[in-house]
């Protein structure tokens, strides 16, 4: 496998002959505050055994230069050993000590050791992010998860800085304007889980204690940190409070003491993902430090991520998958435990499963209908495959299936299986069969067929009720029809699965609310299952399949139930049932089975009644997508005006100061286009207009400026003045977004050039430029970039880091050009580049599928 990639076969061969005893890694980052310095010194000493003395092997390393290589005291010529991605060594002994000294590069892309300079005060901050394979950008390593080892880090940094790693520091010495931090050895962990955080961070500290069953006391020092300029906004007490609730919960459920000593949580700038489960030193995107008012959904989301990463301390860190095929063994469990834990840990976020049903599963359903879908246990050939498999199937579908497994096997059997799993495989690596063997022990069920149906096949099923009644309106038969819900453009996968579901029967009460009047739980198997116990019951107004959201499926409706939703969706009393109904009608819209304008009408009619703020914010985004992509282009303008009018109406009617008021204000900013809407936007910015209770704080100001910029009504001087008032990292990102969002050829050309013609931009500003460039409303301006996009794909993939390449491929794909010519261009590229990197082809194929789906939805909406 050439270049920077690593194949599964190579990793398996290397693991078959090597066992790693430990790493000592010394980093010197004293150069970091100097903007002219591009590299830092990295020295790695790794002790390892070889079962085939005389064999050859290689370490992974991505570094501008290698200074020296020493194997068992013998100098190796770096020029001969290092090829730019690997350090090759020959003639291994049974026991080996290898030292590699290199100059590694500071990162701008969030991969490896990322360097950030705070525009607010000029301070420099560092942090690492490695998953799946970027530790090799910081030190020489056997970069695969099954070669676990203890790590001992030593970091020399500027004297004013603090440094954190996975283990506690044992000593700090000062010399010549620097301090050297010596850290204790870690437990055996995988390379991608190691971490270093360094800089003048603001730190809040706390402590957690727990009496264990053996009479000893577990003591865990806690800390939470962010950049100093964010300290006034840092609600560390809330963060650490959720942390302690989570530690209580996981200790109760897992019966295995937290194994990594301390628990630091660093909120870091320009982070590519939500968070990373580095044991003892978790990193989060600093957008979780809220500079302005956010809705309670944002706090719930942050708490979910805190518990998700904490679950990884056991699922992923203590026990790790052998190779990325079984990535789900950690991510599906953590995604499930994030929602399960919010309720089980007795946090204030009691609607976690509503959020899961409405948001996380929408991600899974979308991913699972691509032609590139894969089983939860995927076939991961190499690291590029692994990078793309951090997706909605590995996370949200896997978590949904685990929720179904809990219903199928029983909660106690499930958690007893987890307890045995940790004890049996602590600090080791596992595969699917290791987990299934234990769950079969605890549940008494044969899970072979269950795993084959749920974990080893792809695609999503659709369940539809079939209701027959007699002349008096009583049910004569209620059946559940199951099909494969395949995309019409792809061959049927033909997999029908066993589903444990509840069928909810809903009618109106005396107050007019739709309430559940009956519930029948059953196993659905095959194409048609009769619901025993329904015959003789009065025909309800609404039959809701998968009530309580026990399984993973898309639900459909019979004609009468769908009519009930059209006239009364917002009247469903139970918020989970209502969220399931909203999810179902959105899937109907995406699948081209409900006209987009009908979905928009439902949102405009009932979203104002929606009590769950997270669901409301999802409805806003989905309604905007329906108009931008799924509506008949001839109706698009009218649909946009209807959304803006609705947003303005609901904003004025919302409770002053409420989360709902803030959500509607942001939605108005997203949809504003007419003179009335934009006039209010400018008035809110200038202070000449006022909505009672609405605080136009900094983040909302940028949302309003983006609306004006996208409409061509924000001057360079106005945007520059706003940046001067908010000279922060967030301000710079928002300013860049606004510049790229202006509806002029010059603005689009500048945004394109900033990303394509240079690799100097940091990841956050790459993202901001792409977001502003690609506004659907500007499709006429961006159409001319479709041809250059397809010509550049392979060059960008080869020249940029995979993180930036993914953003280019996904973000610049001409998805707003929802016409047959664009589809033909995508098909021509795919047909003409069969040998392109599989991961690149996958991304293009998925974006092409989104485009084809949009065209089918438009055909449904066309009247």
Q: What is the pLDDT of residues 364-382, one digit of tens each?
A: 999 999 999 999 998 899 9
Tell me the C-alpha distance between 305 and 393, whole Å. Answer: 18
pLDDT greater than 60 at residue 489: no
% of the chain exceeding 90 in pLDDT: 92
Tell me the C-alpha distance between 140 and 290, whole Å. Answer: 37
Residue 728 confidence (pLDDT):
95
Q: Tell me the pLDDT band of 486, cut-offs 50, 70 and 90.
A: low
Residue 818 confidence (pLDDT):
80
% of the chain exceeding 70 in pLDDT: 98
- Give pLDDT tens digits for 818-849: 889 999 999 999 999 999 999 999 999 999 99
- Give pLDDT tens digits for 407-452: 888 889 999 999 999 999 999 999 999 999 999 999 998 888 888 9
Residue 357 gets which letter from DSSP?
Answer: I
Please, where are the H alpha helices in 2-155? 8-17, 78-81
Q: Tell me the pLDDT band of 492, cut-offs 50, 70 and 90.
A: very low
**CA 469, 470, 473, 477 torsion-angle sign:** negative
Q: Tell me the pLDDT band of 484, cut-offs 50, 70 and 90.
A: confident
Q: Indicate which residues carry an active-site annotation.
A: 309
703 three-state secondary structure = helix
- Give pLDDT tens digits for 642-667: 999 999 999 999 999 999 999 999 99
Contact 793, 800 (CB under 8 A): no
Residue 819 confidence (pLDDT):
85
Residue 493 confidence (pLDDT):
60
Tell me the C-alpha distance between 268 and 263, whole Å. Answer: 16
Q: What is the 3-state secondary structure (H, E, C) of 506-567?
A: EEECCCCCEEEEEEEEEEECCCEEECCCCCCCECCCEEECCHHHCCCCEECCCHHHHHHHHH
Tell me the C-alpha distance between 275 and 267, whole Å. Answer: 9
Compute the average pLDDT of residues 607-624: 97
508 φ, ψ (degrees, to nearest 5): -80, 140
Mark 302-333 as b/e (b = at least 16 C-beta within 10 Å).
bbbbbbbbbbbbbbbbbbbbbbbbbbbbbbbb
Residue 654 confidence (pLDDT):
97
Contact 92, 121 (CB under 8 A): no
Q: Tell me the pLDDT band of 316, cut-offs 50, 70 and 90.
A: very high
Q: How many C-alpha atoms does 776 have within 13 Å on its Cβ side?
A: 19
Residue 442 confidence (pLDDT):
94
pLDDT greater than 90 at residue 295: yes
Compute the average pLDDT of residues 174-185: 96
Tell me the C-alpha distance between 711 and 105, whole Å. Answer: 41
Least confident of 171-175, 321-325, 485-489, 609-613: 485-489
Q: How is 385-406 classified by DSSP, letter by letter?
A: HHHHTSSTIIIIIHHHHHHHHH
- Give pLDDT tens digits for 755-812: 999 999 999 999 999 999 999 999 999 999 999 999 999 999 999 999 999 999 999 9
Residue 4 confidence (pLDDT):
84
Residue 2 confidence (pLDDT):
38
Compute the average pLDDT of residues 689-717: 97
Tell me the C-alpha distance between 146 and 189, whole Å. Answer: 9
Contact 358, 618 (CB under 8 A): yes
pLDDT greater than 70 at residue 488: no
- Write the CA distances from 273 to 62, 196, 286, 387, 763, integer angstroms: 21, 17, 10, 12, 11
Cis geometry, peptide bond prior to residue 550 (ω within 30 degrees of 0):
no
| pLDDT, averaged across the chain | 95
- Give pLDDT tens digits for 13-24: 999 999 999 999
Residue 512 confidence (pLDDT):
94
Tell me the C-alpha distance between 72 and 733, whole Å. Answer: 49
Q: Tell me the pLDDT band of 404, cut-offs 50, 70 and 90.
A: confident
pLDDT greater than 90 at residue 534: yes
- Give pLDDT tens digits for 181-209: 999 999 999 999 999 999 999 999 999 99
Compute the average pLDDT of residues 529-555: 96
């Amino acid at each position: 496998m050439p270049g920077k990639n690593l194949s599964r076969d190579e990793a398996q061969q290397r693991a078959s002959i090597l066992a790693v005893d430990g790493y000592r890694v010394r980093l010197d980052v004293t150069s970091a505050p100097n903007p002219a310095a591009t590299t830092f010194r990295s020295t790695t000493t790794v002790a390892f055994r070889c079962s085939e003395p005389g064999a050859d092997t290689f370490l992974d390393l991505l570094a501008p230069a290698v200074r020296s290589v020493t194997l068992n005291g013998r100098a190796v010529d770096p020029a001969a050993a290092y090829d730019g991605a690997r350090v090759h060594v020959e003639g291994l002994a049974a026991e080996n000590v290898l030292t590699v000294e290199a100059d590694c590069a500071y990162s701008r892309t969030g991969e490896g050791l990322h360097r950030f300079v705070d525009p607010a005060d000029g301070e420099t901050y560092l942090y690492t992010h490695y998953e799946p394979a970027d530790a090799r950008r910081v030190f020489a390593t056997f970069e695969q998860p099954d070669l676990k080892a203890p790590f001992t880090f030593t970091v020399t940094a500027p004297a004013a800085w603090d440094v954190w790693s996975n283990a506690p520091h044992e000593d700090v010495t000062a010399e010549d304007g620097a301090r050297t931090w010596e850290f204790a050895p870690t437990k055996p962990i995988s390379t991608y889980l190691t971490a270093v955080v360094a800089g003048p961070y603001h730190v809040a500290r706390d402590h957690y204690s727990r009496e264990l069953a053996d009479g000893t006391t577990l003591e865990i020092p806690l800390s939470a940190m962010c950049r100093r300029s964010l300290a006034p906004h840092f609600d560390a007490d809330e963060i650490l409070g959720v942390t302690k609730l989570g530690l209580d919960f996981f200790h109760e459920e897992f019966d295995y003491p937290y194994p990594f000593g301390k628990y630091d949580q660093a909120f870091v700038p320009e982070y590519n993902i939500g968070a990373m489960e580095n044991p003892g030193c978790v990193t989060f995107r600093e957008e979780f430090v809220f500079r302005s008012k956010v809705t309670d959904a944002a706090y719930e989301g942050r708490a979910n991520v805190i518990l998700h990463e904490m679950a990884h301390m056991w699922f992923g860190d203590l026990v790790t998958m052998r190779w990325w095929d079984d990535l789900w063994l950690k991510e599906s469990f953590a995604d499930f435990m994030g929602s399960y834990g919010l309720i089980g840990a007795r946090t204030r976020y009691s609607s976690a499963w509503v959020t899961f049903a409405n948001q996380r599963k929408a991600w899974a359903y979308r991913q699972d209908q691509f032609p590139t879908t894969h089983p939860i246990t995927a076939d991961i050939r190499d690291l590029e495959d692994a990078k793309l498999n951090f997706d909605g199937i590995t996370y949200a579908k896997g978590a949904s299936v685990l929720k179904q497994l809990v219903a199928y096997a029983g909660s106690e059997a499930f958690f007893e299986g987890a307890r045995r799993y940790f004890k049996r495989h602590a600090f080791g690596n596992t595969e699917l069969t290791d987990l299934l063997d234990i769950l079969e022990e605890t549940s008494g069920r044969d899970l072979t067929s269950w795993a084959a149906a749920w974990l080893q096949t792809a695609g999503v099923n659709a369940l539809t009720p079939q209701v027959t009644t007699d002349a008096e309106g009583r049910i004569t038969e209620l059946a559940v029809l199951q099909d494969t819900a395949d995309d019409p453009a792809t061959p049927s996968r033909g997999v029908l699965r066993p589903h444990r579901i509840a069928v909810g029967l809903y009618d109106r009460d005396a107050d007019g609310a739709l309430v559940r009047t009956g519930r029948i739980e059953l196993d659905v198997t095959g194409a048609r299952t009769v619901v025993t116990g329904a015959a003789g019951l009065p025909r309800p107004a609404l039959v809701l399949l998968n009530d309580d959201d026990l399984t993973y499926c898309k639900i459909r409706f019979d004609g009468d139930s769908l009519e009930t939703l059209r006239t009364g969706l917002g009247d469903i009393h139970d918020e989970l049932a209502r969220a399931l109904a909203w999810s179902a009608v959105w899937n109907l819209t995406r699948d081209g089975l409900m006209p987009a304008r009908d979905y928009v009408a439902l949102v405009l009619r009932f979203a104002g009644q929606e009590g769950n703020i997270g669901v409301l914010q999802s409805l806003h985004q989905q309604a905007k997508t329906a108009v931008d992509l799924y509506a008949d282009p001839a109706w698009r303008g009218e649909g946009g005006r209807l959304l803006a009018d609705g947003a303005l109406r609901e904003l004025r009617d919302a409770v002053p100061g409420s989360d709902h008021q803030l959500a509607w204000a942001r939605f108005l900013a997203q949809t504003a286009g007419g003179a009335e809407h934009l006039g209010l936007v400018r008035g809110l910015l200038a202070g000449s207009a006022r909505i009672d209770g609405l605080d136009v704080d900094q983040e909302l100001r940028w949302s309003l400026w983006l609306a004006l910029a996208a409409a061509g009504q924000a001057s360079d001087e106005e945007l520059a003045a706003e940046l001067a008032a908010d000279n922060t990292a967030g301000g710079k990102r928002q300013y860049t977004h606004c510049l790229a969002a202006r509806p002029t050829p010059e603005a689009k050309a500048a945004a394109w050039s900033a990303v394509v013609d240079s690799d100097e931009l940091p990841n956050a500003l790459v993202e901001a430029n792409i977001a502003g460039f690609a506004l659907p409303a500007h499709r006429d301006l961006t159409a001319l970039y479709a041809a250059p996009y397809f010509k550049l794909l392979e060059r960008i993939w080869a020249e940029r880091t995979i993180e930036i390449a993914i953003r280019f491929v996904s973000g610049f794909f001409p998805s707003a050009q929802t016409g047959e010519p664009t589809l033909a261009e995508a098909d021509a590229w795919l047909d003409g580049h069969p040998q392109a990197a599989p991961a690149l082809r996958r991304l293009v194929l998925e974006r092409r599928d989104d485009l084809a789906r949009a065209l089918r939805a438009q055909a449904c909406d066309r009247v």
